[in-house]
Chains A and B, each alone.
Chain A
Amino acid sequence: MDFDFSPEQQQLKDQARRFLADRCDRTAVRAVLDGPQSYDAKLWQGLADQGYLGAAIPEAYGGLGAGYLELCVIAEELGRAVAPVPFSSSIGIAAELLLNAGTEAQKQRWLPALANGKTIATLALAERPGRVTAASIETRAEHGRLSGRKLPVADGDIAHLAIVAARDAVGAVSLHLVDLTGAGVQREVLPSIDPTRSQARIDFTQAEAEPLGAPGAGLAIIDAVFDRAAVLMAFEQVGGADQALQAACDYAQERFAFGRPIGSLQAIKHMLADMYVSATLARSNAYYGAWALSTGSAELPEAAATARVSATQAYQHCARNNIQVHGGMGFTWEFDCHLHYRRANLLALALGSLSTWEDRLIDRLVRAQDARRAA
């Protein structure tokens, strides 16, 4: 059994960590948090130049074709650094949608630009609060023109390309590629809980749209791709959880109260131990997801949901308790605790809420159990 990353993958991870420590320190994150820009364009280009964005995109489409385990370790380091870049939108979701549903021409047209970072792509799905269902989608696409309002769209203000879920002439939900720099597109940044990852409202008015994937297969394609994206996001969450735990441990060593480091008090120790437990369970479950994703296993649906639920719980747990360990200072804008708190809660919703994934997980465990019995 070799349920671990290879020495080469570990090396890539260390390299990514060093790169991000250098190029994405707290000053860089805070420039996006406090400044007018929606993401760190220089960092994004740097990630592309390192080959990180195209790690799992085949060479035929301008990527490195290294594989998903490589992409997983990169995602973990991006999560650790709370990197203010549209990685999950452009690489985790959009590139996967193109790879899984695109025609050869569409892949040739867009994937190289996604891999080299020149094009940022995103999925425009939600239109109103609550779970996304076929009934919640009113945007329409007919005769190559798309109209409707999408919100929130992650990275929607900076993306060049949107993959939009819309109803066709017969009312079925299909996917469409829309050039966001073209005519009939209006967008506006929406304030959100995590300013280091922007959200936008996009109004489409007879925007030019090209179908992606089979007509009426929109939500099924998204479901399948979200399993892949969920594994990558679980690694982002695991990296974030790990860093929040580390920050809390460091502070518990430095901060003295009652004449001793607060980390010597059992109330603090036990909180940190429980964070370690969550983070460890989430990491092991994320490895399971990585195994399923990288081997094309039929277990991917249950592995992805397992990784996703576990990582969401762990990052939220570690981020909120990191603030608690820091006490009042953890609630200041000056300390970095809120960066993780914001990102943990953003990622928790980014691919569908925790309760959605819990529901999916049980469905899939039941289905897997039935399949095993039938076999």
Chain B
Amino acid sequence: MNFDDTPEEARFRAEARAWIQAHAPKHLLPELELAGFGQPALRSGDVIAASKAWQKTKADAGWACLHWPVEYGGRGASPIERVIWQQEEGPYAKLAGIFIIGQGMIAPTLMAYAAEPHKRRYLPPLASGEEVWCQLFSEPAAGSDLAGLRTRAERVGGDSGDEWVINGQKIWTSGAHYSDFGMILTRTDPAVAKHDGLTMFFLDMKSPGIEVRPIKQVNGQSGFNEVYFNDVRVPDHQRLGSVGQGWRVSLTTLMNERLSIGAGMPTGFPELLEFCRTFDTGDGLAIDNPAVRSKLATWAVRTSGLKYTAYRSISALSKGQTPGPENSIGKLVAGTTLQEIAAFALDLEGASGVLVDAAQPSASARFQAMLLRSPATRIEGGTDEILRNIIAERVLGLPADMRADRGMPFNQIPTRSR
């Protein structure tokens, strides 16, 4: 049992570290270190431009999408090398936010289902950040029950027609407003059971008939969008998988969402510990209060537990094994903890906890930003409840929930109480 690199891993780490040291945008580092928990990656300047610039620099030197095949813009690196890179990239990885969905979720789906010419056309610019992709899955009436989506794709010119027309609405689409392409899950047959009538496509986000409207969130930012489709035409060669196979195609995407392994998700604990060590509640430093210490201890062991759980998964990768299911707990634990920690920090501040003011003692109002952003962590990419279902069914082997709409043709599924 050890945390040491193998000689090959150490060599790779040294190479990655040296390259980052020589090429990273160091002038952005102070801002990037403070970013996160609902605070923008950059307060000054254009984060998208800075992100694209860093991504292109990495891609030109072969440090983008490390685990992808070289011919698609990657480096052909092993999973453990990818993890080492993430560790070494550190705060600069916060500049990769706009690429996560495209590179982490859509690209594996393209690799599995797109035609070879499409892979060669679309994957390299996705790796280099020159083109950004979004994922058009959720709808107003289809969130956790994603397979209940209603956006229609109808084939023009019968079963062998070479064009489709899409009508409907998507929602919670991260980055749709700056994306070049999107991958969209549509309903192509409403007369069969809901999982059986879906088909996946990709499309140009500048296609006529697409309208993107940013959603103003609880915290005042707008990372998500509504996207409307009004007679949007998509060629049949942009279909991914066969007609009616869309659900299976979407699982490739969703599985990749959950496979990503980092160094443990942030919980806000180090920030809270630091705050408690310096903040005087009026009865002395917060850290000296037994009630505060008890709560800190609980959050400390959750944070540590996530870190060492990630290390267990990384160890499996290092040995060329597939990690176990233990990493599925990450977002569930981190989301709840973030929210609890934020509320607790405000509580310590007393009445001034309400103020979103960088001059207040809580270090740039970061706990206030954390409070207002944390509800989203518990919802996006699978709600806490869906994650618990997944752990219960896929990890613990419990039977699936009974579903009132099982096997029922989609167009006969009740949608409201009578």
Contacts and interface: CB of A to CB of B under 8 A. Distances in A.
Interface of A: 1-6, 69, 245, 249, 252-253, 260-261, 263-266, 268-270, 272-274, 276-277, 280-285, 287-288, 290-291, 294-295, 306, 309-310, 313, 355, 357-359, 361-362, 365-366, 369
Nearest to B393: A269
Given A1-B5, A3-B315, A281-B309, A362 B397 contact: no
B297 A362 contact: yes
A295 B4 CA distance: 12
A82 B143 CA distance: 44
Contacts of B385: 266, 270
B292 to A, nearest CB: 9
B302 interface: yes
A359 B293 contact: yes
A5 B319 CA distance: 13
B60 interface: no
Interface stretch (B22-30, B247-255, B326-334, B345-353): B326-334
Interface stretch (B33-41, B371-379, B398-406): B398-406
Given A260-B402, A276-B395, A366 B277 contact: yes
B313 to A, nearest CB: 9
B167 interface: no
Main secondary structure of the interface of A (DSSP, over half): helix
B340 to A, nearest CB: 14
Given A269-B388, A273-B396, A284-B312, A2 B318 contact: yes
Contacts of A263: 392, 398-399
A290 to B, nearest CB: 6
Interface string B284-321: 00010010011011101110111111011011101100
A266 B304 contact: no
A270 B329 contact: no
Contact of A284 (B287, B326, B400): B326
B1 A252 contact: no
B301 A285 contact: yes
B400 A264 contact: yes
Contacts of A272: 392, 396, 398
Interface residues of B, number: 51
Nearest to A263: B398
Question: Ordered nearest first, which 6 A-B pairs have the shortest CB separation?
Answer: A281-B305, A358-B297, A269-B392, A284-B308, A273-B388, A310-B301
Given A1-B314, A3-B314, A263-B398, A365 B300 contact: yes
Nearest to A249: B396
A358 B3 contact: no
B304 A249 contact: no
Contacts of B332: 273, 277
A306 B398 contact: no
Interface of B: 1-5, 9, 80, 273, 277, 287, 290, 293-294, 296-298, 300-302, 304-309, 311-312, 314-316, 318-319, 326, 329, 332-333, 385, 387-389, 391-393, 395-402
A277 B318 CA distance: 24
Contacts of B308: 3, 284-285, 287-288
Given A270-B388, A310-B304, A369-B273, A4 B329 contact: no
Main secondary structure of the interface of B (DSSP, over half): helix
A287 B3 CA distance: 12
A280 B327 CA distance: 9
B297 A3 contact: no
Most buried by A among B302, B305, B389, B400: B305
Contacts of A268: 398
Most buried by A among B293, B308, B399: B308
B1 A290 contact: yes
A83 B81 CA distance: 43
Given A260-B402, A280-B309, A280-B326, A361 B297 contact: yes
B124 to A, nearest CB: 31
Given A4-B312, A280-B326, A361-B300, A285 B396 contact: no
Nearest to A260: B402
A281 B333 contact: yes
A3 B319 CA distance: 11
A364 B389 CA distance: 37
Contacts of B312: 3-4, 284, 287
Nearest to B319: A2
Given A264-B402, A270-B385, 17 more contacts: A3-B308, A3-B312, A5-B1, A252-B398, A264-B399, A268-B398, A270-B388, A273-B388, A277-B391, A281-B333, A284-B312, A285-B308, A306-B300, A358-B294, A358-B298, A366-B277, A369-B277
Contacts of B290: 355, 359
B334 to A, nearest CB: 11
Contact of B389 (A253, A266, A277, A310): A266
A369 B300 CA distance: 13
B304 A285 contact: yes
24 contacts: A3-B2, A3-B308, A5-B1, A69-B1, A260-B402, A264-B398, A269-B388, A270-B388, A273-B391, A274-B388, A280-B326, A281-B329, A281-B333, A284-B304, A287-B308, A287-B312, A288-B304, A306-B300, A306-B304, A313-B301, A357-B297, A358-B296, A362-B293, A362-B297
A263 B305 CA distance: 27
A138 B48 CA distance: 69
B238 to A, nearest CB: 38
A62 to B, nearest CB: 26
Contacts of B389: 266, 269-270, 273
A358 B329 CA distance: 23
A264 B401 contact: yes
A268 B402 CA distance: 14
Contact of B311 (A3, A261, A273, A306): A3
Nearest to B326: A280
Contacts of B398: 249, 252-253, 261, 263-264, 268-269, 272
